[in-house]
């Protein structure tokens, strides 16, 4: 018996997207720093994603930093109604590729203005706190995003790398449209966060959806892939789409071939027995 699933999700109850999106982290340079080796190839990947029906693209100001957002703004019509762009603020980068949380409200307000300029968007569709900052009260960071929404600078607020408790605290301040946490077929430690999103109708964006290099330990995935004439990575994406109707996987790549393989995964229908094997 084949498992059926919804093809679209309404972010914030209003922005309808195809559930398989694109993560724009890998269109930057090595270590997610600087320009990609081939900027024109990066632009071709973005254009091809939209041609293939991808209408939800996720990025962050820390990718480059700034490079991913700028390439998106220069390459695509980011304000077209049928394309939803999400970005994130609150994470600093340096040339050692360190990731440093920075959730200060004034910084977030400034970061959002910079993102808006690079993306050429007014307002930004979905603006996410990249990670809680241990040096800034969590509620203060969330209040800053709530104010940006009230001022019409962003349409929807999202969170990333949060616990169930943090999600609940944030929801007391502002409506949360999405949560983006690490989650994939081989790492399900944030199952409780996914379930909380499911119960509240909040979109759940699993980052690291392909669990690069970690699929070998997933029982049965290779035989299921063989049965569908697919790759284990495609099965991992199909599983995420089947896992819940609120999941919005965003596999990223700098290769058009890999992009096309990823998008094709949305057509794979896993049977109940196959889902049970992976479960």
Report the catalytic residues.
63
Q: Do residues 87 and 128 touch, judged by C-beta distance below 8 A?
A: yes
**Which residues 6+ apart lie within 8 Å of 278 measured at CB?**
185, 218, 219, 220, 221, 224, 235, 239, 270
Query: What whole-number distance in Å separates Cα of residue 127 and Cα of residue 231?
Result: 33
Determine the 3-state secondary structure of 230 from DSSP.
coil
What b/e sequence results for 137-172 when a residue is b if at least 16 CB atoms lie within 10 Å of its CB, and e otherwise? ebeebbbbbbebbeeebbbbbbbbbbbeebbeebbe
**What phi and psi, each to the nearest 5 degrees, are found at residue 44?**
-65, -40
CA distances, 264 to each of 82, 132, 230, 234, 261 (Å):
20, 34, 9, 8, 5
């Amino acid at each position: 018996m084949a498992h059926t699933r919804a093809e679209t999700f309404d972010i914030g109850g209003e922005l309808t997207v195809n559930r398989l999106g694109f993560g724009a982290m890998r269109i930057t340079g090595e270590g997610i720093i600087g320009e990609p080796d081939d900027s024109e190839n990066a632009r071709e990947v973005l254009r091809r994603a939209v041609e293939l029906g991808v209408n939800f693209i996720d990025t962050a100001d820390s990718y480059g930093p700034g490079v991913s957002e700028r390439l998106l703004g220069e390459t695509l019509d980011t304000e077209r109604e049928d394309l939803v762009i999400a970005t994130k603020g609150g994470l600093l980068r340096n040339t050692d590729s360190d990731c440093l949380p920075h959730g200060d409200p004034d910084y977030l307000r400034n970061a959002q203005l910079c993102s808006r300029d690079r993306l050429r968007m007014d307002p930004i569709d979905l603006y996410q706190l990249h990670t809680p900052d241990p040096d800034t009260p969590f509620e203060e960071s969330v209040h800053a995003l709530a104010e940006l929404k009230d001022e019409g600078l962003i349409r929807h607020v999202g969170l990333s790398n949060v616990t169930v408790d943090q999600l609940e605290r944030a929801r007391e301040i502002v409506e949360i449209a999405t949560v983006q946490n690490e989650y994939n077929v081989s790492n399900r430690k944030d199952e409780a966060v996914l379930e909380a999103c499911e119960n509240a109708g909040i979109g759940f964006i699993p980052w690291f959806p392909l669990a690069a290099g970690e699929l070998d330990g997933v029982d049965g995935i290779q035989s299921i892939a063989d049965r569908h004439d697919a790759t284990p990575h495609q099965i991992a994406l199909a599983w995420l789409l089947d896992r819940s109707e609120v999941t919005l996987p965003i596999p990223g790549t700098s290769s058009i071939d890999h992009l096309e393989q990823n998008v094709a995964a949305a057509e794979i229908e896993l049977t109940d027995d196959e889902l049970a094997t992976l479960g």
